[in-house]
Amino acid sequence: GRVLVEISYPMAEGAPPGEENRAPEAGMLGLAVCRGILRSCEGDIRYAGVGPLCRFQVTFPLASGDRAEAASPPRDGAAVPVLTLLVVEPDDGAGRRLLMLLAERGHRAVIAPDGEEAIGLAERFRFDALLCAVRLPGTSWAGLFERVRGRVPACVLLTEGFDAALAREAGQKAYLVLSRPVAPDRLDQVLATIAARAVVE
């Protein structure tokens, strides 16, 4: 089953005619962050403003006892501190799968569908790493990494299978590579490296 929660509050006074049902632009970045967190738990949030009220609808699944217990499996080896990660993935299904893997390990993750939204998030919030798909609409992964490099300590390229050329190109610039389908052991190695770089920064 799923739970639906509705949150509402009065719109700011003086909204132009016809603008009552639009989400406030100042809150769109926060909405993207909330959506990323909720999607990591298989939930979602959408703006549903009507008339004088600013309304948001939040949905999330009811977890059985077995599922809730499995959401935080024990991890072997040294503990990795909780990381805050920005995932840039235009494929909604692939993004959800990665968010679930990260959430199972206790990390926070926000998803952005394209490079421009990712840059906006990186400028406003602190992230320990950027995980980016190879194919992005409107920009390249290399260009995106260069633009956020001064703000994000680690960048991870998400490849479809192992690609030696991409791995070599990324390695020359000290980027990390994570091949999909994601192997749990390799994911843990990448997260440990991210944590080490975050401490240095």
DSSP 7-47: EEEEPPTTPPTT-TTSPPGGGHHHHHHHHHHHHTTT-EEEE
92 pLDDT above the threshold of 70:
yes
Residues 46 and 79 in one domain: no
- Of residues 25, 7, 8, the one with CA closest to residue 16: 25
Residues 81 and 153 in one domain: yes
Write out pLDDT tens, residues 125-146: 999 999 999 889 888 888 998 8
Residues 32, 9: Cα–Cα separation, whole Å: 19
Stretch 59-86: mean pLDDT:
59
Residues 77, 189: Cα–Cα separation, whole Å: 11
pLDDT recorded at residue 93: 87
The residue ranking higher by pLDDT, 61 or 110, is: 110
Residues 17 and 53 in one domain: yes
CATH, residue 110: 3.40.50.2300
Residues 26 and 90 in one domain: no
Residues 121, 30: Cα–Cα separation, whole Å: 9
Residues 135, 133: Cα–Cα separation, whole Å: 6
Residues 173, 23: Cα–Cα separation, whole Å: 39
Task: Report residue 158's pLDDT band, with 50, 70 and 90 as the boundaries.
Answer: very high
Residue 66 falls inside a structural domain: no
| DSSP track, 167-182 | HHHHHHTT-EEEEESP
The total of structural domains in the chain comes to 2
- Write out the residue range of the structural domain in which residue 77 sits: 72-200
Residue 67 falls inside a structural domain: no
Residues 193, 169: Cα–Cα separation, whole Å: 18
Residue 57 falls inside a structural domain: yes
pLDDT recorded at residue 49: 61
Which of 15-29, 111-125, 170-184 has the least mean pLDDT?
A: 15-29
